[in-house]
Amino acid sequence: MINPMDLLRSNLSRVRIPEPTNRIFKQECCISFDTPRSEGGLFIDMNTFLAYGKDCVSWNFKKTGNPVYLHIKQTRKLVPEDRPSKKPTLLAIGIEGGFDNSEAEYEETHNIVILPDYVTLHFPSVELPEKVRLAVDAILMAEGAERKEQVAAWTADKKQTSACAMNLQQIDNGVIVPPSGWKCAKCDKRDNLWLNLTDGMILCGRKNWDGTGGNNHAIEHYKETGYPLAVKLGTITADLEGADVYSYPEDDSVLDPLLAQHLAFFGIDFSSLKKTEMTTAERELDQNTNFDWNRIQESGQEVEPLFGPGYTGLVNLGNSCYLAATMQVVFSTQSFCLRYYMNQTLKSAFEAAPADPTVDLNMQLTKLGHGLLSGKYSIPALEKEDNANAATTTDTKQEGIPPRMFKAVIASSHPEFSSMRQQDALEFFLHFVDQVERAHSGKPDLDPTKSFKFGIEDRIACSSGKVAYNKRLDYILSLNIPLHEATNKEEVEAFHKLKAEKILEGKDVSSDEIVRPRVPLEACLASFAAPEEIHDFYSTALKAKTTAIKNAGLTSFPDYLVLHMRKFVMEEGWVPKKLDVYIDVPDIIDINHMRSKGLQPGEELLPESGPEDEAESNVPVANEDIVSQLLLMGFNHLHCQKAAINTSNTGVEAAMNWLLSHMDDPDIDSPLSQQSQGATIDQSKVDTLISFGFQEAIARKALKASGGDIEKATDWIFNNPGASASSDMDATSSSIAQTPVDSGPTDGGGKYRLFGIVSHIGTSTQCGHYVAHILKDGRWVIFNDDKVGASVNPPKEMGYLYFFERLNS
């Protein structure tokens, strides 16, 4: 039998001493959620510095041939009962100043293990080769890649004061920014807009690699002018703390100590606003210190802890509850359970993964699926620790699994989700679905996201009596909440009267007295399908713009229907508001009446548009009320039209301010028609779509159908896979009605059962807390990060996202 030391020396070529730039994993297995505290400890490959649990290390040896591993095992120590706890000062978990999620102390042992026979050598030992000793010391002294990435994300969120802020020059050009109705001054983008703090220009943000986002107009404006600071519209709140200010010369998000003054310059005045409640950070800190608050978390209820397969909690990595709540519901669907658990083993996913499995989405989704559904990590903490600290521990809760590797992979292409800030669960769900769908581009039959996909058809009827049909695909049905449809209007009115009286008396309304509007879900669904007027619709039949009526319906019913309740709105005064409303959601819904019927007998389609129609349809129309009021002030009619158009018809004041600052423009007297006649497809936009892999003819056609907007053109291509370059159809063309939506979406009956709810606590999607409630094994279960228990009173009326599963008819 070979001597263990000789065996180690014979494999020294497979041992590397890590460099400072190497990522060293030593907290968690890259294939499972085993840690040094697991029964088998953790094995670190001394060549790649990737970590593996006891069940997985042999797979790595077979795949790579690397035989030498550092084995780390941690055993729990007793914790003194009288040890004081530290008060957190930072919204972080597991780092200095943050929440301490590792109160227990552990004793750590180290060994060198050589596979395949698991020959073991104790460390430290002077008999070990110097190269091995140096390598182990470097591994143990280095900060683990898992922790390093988490700390880096928190540190990255600490904004610095901009060097440009204190001496920022602002141009007095008469610009007054309205509280809503914003639009990029150089394109049609109405989201991802930035206000330049020097000249008040509102421009769109950067373009993402896939054509989404903005059109780079804000940064191009900086390159042309050198004006350094911009604030993102929609992030400005009354206390200004959440405002996203970007410095172009410093190429980073920054703090602007004079932001209130800089905003007031453009008519956004905060001087009269007083702080009447906690700041976002204070509120988050207060709520993160005590998670058991509010009805959504069923505080005050005796919740029975649950353990076993499908009842595994997810550790909060620091404002990651949006991810936890969403993924708990996603992995409660049969499609994701089959794809990443039942039909794929950890071993097969690892064998198919690249050299570094920590960056492979398929591997990390399989790891997450097995972690959540196997039940391996869903056992009471006392049992897991073999009663090591039974004398001082009374809780019977599970520790949960930390989804840090999954989060790193899924967020790698998204700057917000890769931060440690709170995020919108809806935005994360859509981003997640998009990434999974992209990963299955070559094997759509395996794509589990198609169970969420459905088709929407808009029927547009213009005053000519002719119709057009437009189709698109989506994964969520986003619903407005019609407060006027509340079923308890009298009670709400009485409450508001009582509240006004108490305010006059200087008294507060107690929580027991609060009455919220109750709106039936049926009313929200009806609002989606209700007729909607479209102003300035260009009719190819009338050769003119007119008012059309749009009706929406579904062309297919998915296996799982996700409803998004639009609870967040922007009030006058730039203040984001969350609607304080209850939604009465039944357990069973039937949406068969929402199925679109398509072209009906006797209906005549709008004719396809020609070049002259497109030119006319792109001509913007000024609001006549604004124009007439400006005319009364003595301005030229053409100038008034341009002012209204260039301010997106937002109002008289905005139009007047634009007019006063553009009177000397060289093209101020050019006819409106001349500005549109020269409109052609931008070749740079064609080239951008070609770089995405689309054919030039299809790219031109999509841009033509989308008014030159790259993001809309990309959506158009994906939503019209059967389109060919020769058909030359317009976005409003009737021939879209004859194009199949896609073979991907599933379809069936329209009867659904509620099985999942993602609820939100807080005043904004960027703060607060998310909790999931899921119907499992005939009972409702609450998933509150790592806390899993039988729900006593699920908050069905307070959901932000509702998940329904189709019933087999």
Q: How many whole angstroms separate alpha carbon 113 and alpha carbon 60? A: 14
Closest CA to 587 of 730, 441, 799, 279: 799
**C-alpha angle 346-774-435 in degrees, rounded to nearest 5:** 50
Tokens coding 120: 């073991």
CA 366 – CA 348 distance, rounded (Å): 10
Assess contact for 220 and 190: CB atoms under 8 A: no
In three-state form (DSSP H/G/I as H, E/B as E, the rest C), the secondary structure along 256-310 is CCCHHHHHHCCCCCCCCCCCCCCCHHHHHHHHHHCCCCCHHHCCCCCCCECCCCC
> What is the greatest pairwise CA distance in the chain?
104
Q: Which tokens is 575 given?
A: 């203040």
Distance CA 791, CA 557 (A): 29
Give the containing element (helix H, strand E) for 468: strand 467-474
78: which 2 tokens?
A: 């007793």
Q: Active-site residues: which are they?
A: 321, 769
Pairing of strands 769-776, 751-761: antiparallel
Produce one character per residue of 174-187: b if its CB has 16 or more CB atoms within 10 Å, e if not: ebebbbeebbbbbb
DSSP H or E segment with residue 629: helix 624-632
d(CA 485, CA 67): 68
Distance (Å, whole) CA 228 – CA 251: 10
Taken in order 208, 247, 409, 447, the sign of the CA dihedral is: negative
For residues 317 and 146, is the Cβ–Cβ distance under 8 A?
Answer: no
CA distance 255 to 535: 41
H helices, E strands: number in the chain: 24, 27
Instruction: Quote the tokens at residue 344.
Output: 């794929």
